Amino acid sequence: MSQIMTAAGIVTGTAAAAAVVWSMLCWARRITAGARCQLRSDMLRTYYHHRESETIRQYEYENFVMAYEAYRALGGNSFMEKIYDEVRTWEVVT
């Protein structure tokens, strides 16, 4: 009888641990998606603000590059790669 109780305890403990891990993974996915969305939004705001003049301030360019690298590290798509490639051709002013 005690072996059955021990086995039941192990199964229950394993199921509870799996539920916690699953919850944490879902939470991490939502945080990652939110961070990607915010980075994309920031980069697009900068892009549309400067696309007519095709000039960008040095600090904005550096921020854009850092945001792009973080976006790609978080699994961002190729749409921003096209925007990034275009921004890299702009004149950087101080």
Q: What is the pTM of this model?
A: 0.74
DSSP, res 76: -
Mean pLDDT of the chain: 87
Query: In angstroms, what CA-CA distances link 40 with 5, 10, 51, 67?
Result: 52, 45, 16, 8
- Taking residues 32-60, report their average pLDDT: 95
Question: What percentage of residues in the chain have a pLDDT greater than 70?
Answer: 83
The yes-or-no verdict on residue 56 having pLDDT over 70 is: yes
CA atoms within 13 A on the CB side of 86: 16
- Taking residues 42-54, report their average pLDDT: 96
- The pLDDT tens digits for 66-93 are 999 999 999 988 889 999 999 999 999 9
Please give the distance of CA 65 from its chain centroid, rounded to a whole number.
14
